[in-house]
Structure 1
Amino acid sequence: MSALSTIARCQRLAANSAGRDLVVGDLHGHRSLFERVLERMNFDPARDRVLSVGDLIDRGPESLDTLALIEQPWFHAVLGNHELMLLNFLGYYGSRIHNRKSFPSGSGQWVIEAASRSRKRLGRLADRLASLPLAIHVDASVPFNVTHGDLHPLGDSQQNLLDVAGVSVHVADSATTSRRNIGEAMKCGFVDLDFAGQPVQVSDAPFGELPLTYVGHSPLTRVTVHRSYVYVDQRVGERSARRPEDRPPTVLDQTRFSFWLRGVALARKGAEARERVVFPLRTGPSVRVAAARA
């Protein structure tokens, strides 16, 4: 173990020309639920890739096994705040916002047993964890990013994300816990839609300066889109009166979702254009004639 002072800012991946890129939300120790979703989606590890928004551990029953996904060649993850909490607890760095003493008494209770029964495995995974990036950028025909929290602490520039090699671990702490963008989104109007059986709410400003950027950290009942951010943490494992079984993680086929979202945006733009023509028609006789002809 070595002292951790800098986090890799962004890992760049080439397009996956062989198969699909699937983006998965926070897993929080629910590997079995995740694998069931992959099975339903006919996942092929020889062709397909999974890109994770982080928070692989804590809360669920399989934290160590879920963390072990980072050793799979088809699985690409970014750091979440819960991974940084683990690294802080294990002494890789001294966090200014995470409490080392409270971690094993909270959602990180699993780490005590793991340290006792699987110390070498935990150490190996932690070393690998420390090398994970804060963000991933995929240079696909429809480029996209994956990160855990909003990128606002790093700035909104995609070029800035790609050009700078690393960031302080303390900046990473801030970035993985940021919720500024979703706070702004909640002040907007949303339209409720459906993508492949997945409820999605899209704000009145679905696209911003960044390419599509998939994030976790903010638990929402629906996949939520605002200013290029796509929130894919839907409270994995949660049960309710309406859903007595464990909620599976959100897994999106990135290419299909991005084209679907572009179609939604174009349809909404066309509807807004029609409204601008139709609604003023009630204000004057000349425009009412145009409406009748239409």
Structure 2
Amino acid sequence: MNGPTYPIVCRHPANDIGRDFVVGDLHGCMDALRYLLHEIGFDGARDRLFSVGDLVDRGTDSLAAIDLIDKPWFYPVLGNHEDSLISVATGAMRRQSWYGIGGAWAEAVTDDQLAALAARLAKLPLVRVVGEGERRFNVLHAEFFGNDAELDAGDFHEDVRSQILWGRGLALGHADPQQQLGLSPTYCGHTPTRAVKQIGSQIYIDTCAFAPEGRLTIVQAGTEERWSVKERWAASEGARELALP
């Protein structure tokens, strides 16, 4: 019997009662997230937080980051680090290979425990589409070339899926932004930048939260509003004592 399937592309209506935010690659930096949610006055009953993926690896609390997927206000997409965890759990990748890119936090996690985590993460879509028309924005992990209709179709060959999770051609100047004509503003991470920047239709918001001089960044979708904080600074300010919504 085949296992359950989950949507590759998830659609969400525009938020008419609150605000929509998008957070960069979290990488287990939960103190920074708690601090920023408090800073922006996030209201879990009205606001929504979309995530460009990479909840796990490299930071200090990957398990707590995975638990965010159960929050009714949190809407992540799959990142390449979640995809790597799933690959290890299914035998498609060696643990040591994953540890080399940030998965060493899971050395004490048993195979059964890892399989349970993978089952939760496998439900995440590759793409989230929010709103319609001029209010529309997209969320994905790395990059996509095509227009909104092609993104909506979700008919991604393996090379396109790989680009969505691992691609850096646009960010590194190796791809033509003209390939994104007809693509609504698309929030992404994967390629660290010192500050939020837009290339073509994509808005890069991964400011390397796990690095000593990096920051976690949250942006308010459709605006120029953005907030960033260093994980160590947030921890020193007592962020761990701040409750999540």
The two structures share one fold, judged by TM-score above 0.5: yes
- 2:51–2:139 contact (8 Å) kept in structure 1: yes
Q: Which structure is higher in helix share?
A: 1
Counterpart CA distance in 2 for 1:109 and 1:184 is: 31
The letter for the 2-side match of 1:107 is: G
Alignment match of 2:184 (pick from 195, 205, 211): 211
C-alpha distance in 1, partners of 2:196/2:147? 24
Compute the displacement of 1:208 (Å). Answer: 4.2
Q: Distance in 1 between matches of 2:35 and 2:200?
A: 31
The 1:78–1:51 alpha-carbon spacing in structure 2 relative to 1, beyond 3 Å, is: same
Match of 1:66 in 2: 65
Residue range with higher mean Cα deviation, 107-116 or 67-76: 107-116
**Structure 1 residue ranges, 4+ long, deviating more than 4 angstroms after superposition:** 168-171, 185-188
Determine what percentage of the aligned residue pairs are the same residue: 34
Matched to 2:195, the amino acid is R
In structure 1, what is the Cα distance between the partners aligned to 2:191 and 2:140? 12
Residue of structure 2 in register with 1:89 after alignment: 88
Structure 1 residues 168 and 187: alpha-carbon distance in aligned structure 2, compared to 1, 3 A threshold: closer
Superposition TM-score, scaled by structure 1 size: 0.67
Deviations 1:135-187 (A, max 9, x none): 100015510000001113xxx121011123x5466752342111121123899
Alignment length, in residue pairs? 222
Alpha-carbon shift at residue 223 of structure 1 (Å): 0.7
- From 116, 131, 140, the counterpart of 1:147: 140
Determine which structure has greater relative contact order: mean sequence separation of CA pairs < 8 Å that are 6+ residues apart, divided by chain length: 2
1:16-69 Cα shifts (integer Å, max 9, x gaps): 111110000001111121111110000111111000000010000101111111
**How big is each residue's C-alpha offset from its partner over 1:78-131, in whole Å with a ceiling of 9 and x where there is no partner?**
11110100000001x73xxx6554113541011222338xx55x5444212111
d(CA) in 2 for partners of 1:147, 1:8: 14
Bigger-Rg structure (1/2): 1
Question: Matched residue of 2:216: which SS?
Answer: coil
Amino acid at match of 1:104: Y
Q: What is the correspondence of 1:42-53 to structure 2 with a 5 Å cutoff?
A: 42-53=41-52
Query: Is there any run of 5+ residues in structure 2 with no aligned partner, and where?
Result: 226-245
Tell whether 2:128 aligns with 1:136.
Answer: yes
TM (norm. structure 2) is: 0.80
Secondary structure of the 1:161 match is: helix
Amino acid at match of 1:147: L
| 8 Å CA contact retained: 2:143, 2:163 | no
CA distance in 2, matches of 1:101, 1:223: 32
Aligned to 1:38: 37
Write the distance in 1 (CA, Å) between the matches of 2:163 and 2:96. Answer: 20
1:161 alignment partner in structure 2 = 151
The match for 1:222 among 195, 216, 236 is 195
| 3-state SS of 2:64 partner | helix
1:253 aligned onto 2:220: yes
Task: Give the aligned partner of residue 20 of structure 1.
Answer: 19
Q: Unaligned regions of 5+ residues in structure 1, if any?
A: 189-204, 241-246, 259-294
Does residue 110 (structure 1) correspond to residue 105 (structure 2)? The answer is: yes
